[in-house]
Amino acid sequence: MAVTLDPSDKDSGSKDEKKKHGHKLSVPELIFGDLWEYDPAPETADPRIRSRYDLFIGGRFVAPQAGEYFASINPATEETVTEIAVASAADVDSAYVAAQMAYETVWRTMPGRERGKYVYRIARLLQDRAREFAVAESIDGGKPIKESRDFDVPMAAAHFFYHAGWADKLAYVAPGRTVQPIGVVGQVIPWNFPLLMLAWKIAPAIAAGNCVVIKPAETTSATAMKFAELLQEAGLPDGVVNIVTGGGETGAALTGHPAARKIAFTGSTDVGKLIMRQLAERGTRMTMELGGKAANVVFEDSPIDQAVEGVVHGIFFNQGHVCCAGSRLLVQESIAESFINKLQQRMETLRVGNPLDKNTDIGAINSREQLDRICELVESGVAEGAKLYQPSCALPSRGFFYRPTLFTEVTQSHRIAREEIFGPVLSILTFRTMDEAIEKANNTMYGLSAGVWTDKGSRILRMAAELKAGVVWANTFNKFDPASPFGGYKESGFGREGGRQGLLDYVDLS
Ligand code: NAP
Ligand code: MG
């Protein structure tokens, strides 16, 4: 029920009674009482999702040869959103044939300034249909609309705009060298940023003159297939981009295909290692964007309220389904108690629920399988002796939801401090000195990202140099720009996406 704010209201009686009877609450009751209730504010744009999607091969939608489809569900309601085709090895082969043909007959010989126009047109169309894509992304994947609307879709368009600008300037990617496209590239992406990861893969590849066969993740293929429609609208020559859907087997057929001159993979470290082993004998080029267990390091002189916001955003953003999530908080011992108190207060105000509601902070966990994994790891945290805190918020009765969670009294040997949880779960450790912070932050097999919060510039510079992570944010977290390369150290993978460095991974130099 909505409550109206009226400072003159002096009625007595309990808050619940008042609300039940539609009475107004006084200002102090509103400020110090329950969390302010908002009216529902659902985003209503039509996502225009078809009831069934075929494969996108050679510029056309074609039925899978075995005639098999699977249901893609809305994780917030568990209802079927659409049916997606399962591509067999034979379908994947057709996609590579189409890509090879497009590469040899059209794309490799097209002048860069012409290629750039197509990439630019894709960016414009995505921008024009941004709201529709954002709603589709939230329905199919569970992320809050404010994230798909304000981050995923605009950032995906930004990647196409940025790379459109490079298409006729490739000579400047490596001055003094001859720059050529690689050929046909196979790409596989995960479910946490479905459209954005697709943009990170396709934009640099085609801007540089390559053709693509790409597979989205099984649980989040809808926006990739909507993107295929958009490619038709843009008039992209047939076969330059081919999209095949299905599960791990389709992925294995794609990454193992002999026509792939390069494989670009984003996903878990385990599957990444499997692919690396498969390709080891072949000399196929590879880039691997894998898991992470980032540390957010908060020093006692940091801007505390800003740091609390940054830590909250860093781990609860997108339900913690973020490879570079700040899933370990390292806080200096002198401020640990007050910092954790503030964090807990802030967590009380987070809204978990309908991904399509504009007020929702934490949407649905992407799948039941992922929810089970989060539950299992949280249980291990409790069993190993860490102390759990969760706010009291209500969860919807249907769908896959999880409360924002934090753990104190965590040691470095606990599974919750070592393994990627990929959910809204924060593990807190403390430190006394900068050296101890560096040692603890680097004590992981991963190295994708890190955050530093301090007032001291010299400390930021030393931390940035010592932290073994592909990106180190200072007094902010999870900031992205297409011009800025992103990628891992250690078991978080190799290769970069974005910027000039990202383009170098999509060209041959001589
Ligand atoms: P995943 O299980 O490794 O799956 C990633 C993709 O690989 C999916 O499309 C998957 O298909 C496919 N796949 C599964 N088995 C395969 C095989 N044997 N051969 C080829 N492809 C196969 O990862 P996820 O659970 O989707 O995504 C979460 C992981 O991605 C996390 O570890 C996260 O850190 C990482 N990630 C990294 C970055 C980065 O930039 N470094 C960015 C985002 C996510 P199905 O889904 O259909 O099974
Ligand atoms: Mg789905």
Whether 419 is a known active-site residue: answer no
∠ CA 435-309-374 to the nearest 5 degrees? 80
Contact indicator for 340, 439 with CB cutoff of 8 Å: no
Instruction: Check if CATH label 3.40.50.2300 holds for domain 295-474.
Output: no
End-to-end, the C-alpha distance of the chain in Å comes to 67
Residue whose pair of structure tokens reads 């781990």 in the numeric block:
315
Pocket test for ligand 1, best of 220, 243, 268 (most atoms within 8 A of CB): 268
Give dist(CA 345, CA 127) in Å, integer.
37
* Fold exhibited by the domain 52-290+489-509: Aldehyde Dehydrogenase; Chain A, domain 1 (3.40.605)
Looking from the CA of residue 493, the nearest atom of ligand 1 is 41
Give the pair of three-digit tokens for residue 328: 């370990």
Quick check: 142 and 152 in contact, CB under 8 A? no
Instruction: Tell me if residue 43 is catalytic.
Output: no
Q: Which of 470, 473, 479, 480 is nearest to 158 (CA)?
A: 480
Which residue lies with its CA nearest to atom 37 of ligand 1? 290
270 CA: nearest ligand 1 atom: 3
Angle between helices 194-207 and 130-141 (to 10 degrees): 130
Same fold, 52-290+489-509 and 295-474: no
Q: Is 482 exposed, middle or buried (0-12, 13-18, 19+ CB in 10 A)?
A: buried
- What is the rounded distance in angstroms from the CA atom of residue 391 to the CA atom of residue 372? 20
43 phi/psi in degrees, rounded to 5: -80, 135
Q: Is 383 exposed, middle or buried (0-12, 13-18, 19+ CB in 10 A)?
A: exposed
**Domain spans in the chain, listed from the N-terminal domain onward:** 52-290+489-509, 295-474
pTM (2 d.p.) = 0.93
- Cβ-in-10-Å burial (0-12, 13-18, 19+) of 309 comes to middle
Cα separation, 507 vs 493, in Å, equals: 19
Instruction: Say which residues have a Cβ less than 8 Å from residue 373's Cβ, sequence separation at least 6.
Output: 421, 422, 423
Measure 1 CA to ligand 1 centroid, in angstroms. 41
332 forms beta bridges with 431
Cβ-contact 177, 502 below 8 angstroms = no
CA distance 34 to 304: 25
pLDDT for the residue numbered 110:
98
Cβ-Cβ contacts under 8 Å for 2 (sequence gap 6 or more): 37, 38, 39
pLDDT at 3: 32
Catalytic residue among 29, 43, 211, 323: 323
164: which residues sit within 8 A by CB, 6+ positions away?
116, 117, 119, 120, 123, 207
Q: What is the per-residue pLDDT for 31? A: 53
What order of strands is seen across the sheet that includes strand 52-53? 52-53, 80-85, 69-73
Name residues contacting ligand 1 (CB within 6 A).
Answer: 188-192, 215, 217-218, 247-248, 251-252, 255, 266-268, 271, 274-275, 289-292, 323, 420, 422, 448, 488, 492-493
- Report how far ligand 2's centroid is from the alpha carbon of 13 (Å): 46
Active-site choice (137, 147, 218, 289): 289
- Integer Cα distance of 494 and 446 in angstroms: 11
Collapse the DSSP code of 103 into the 3-class scheme (helix H, G, I; strand E, B; otherwise coil) and give the result: helix
Would you give per-residue pLDDT tens digits along the chain (510 residues)?
Answer: 333 333 333 333 444 544 444 445 444 445 545 556 788 999 989 999 999 999 999 999 999 999 999 999 999 999 999 999 999 999 999 999 999 999 999 999 999 999 999 999 999 999 999 999 999 999 999 999 999 999 999 999 999 999 999 999 999 999 999 999 999 999 999 999 999 999 999 999 999 999 999 999 999 999 999 999 999 999 999 999 999 999 999 999 999 999 999 999 999 999 999 999 999 888 899 999 999 999 999 999 999 999 999 999 999 999 999 999 999 999 999 999 999 999 999 999 999 999 999 999 999 999 999 999 999 999 999 999 999 999 988 899 999 999 999 999 999 999 999 999 999 999 999 999 999 999 999 999 999 999 999 999 999 999 999 999 999 999 999 999 999 999 999 999 999 999 999 999 999 999
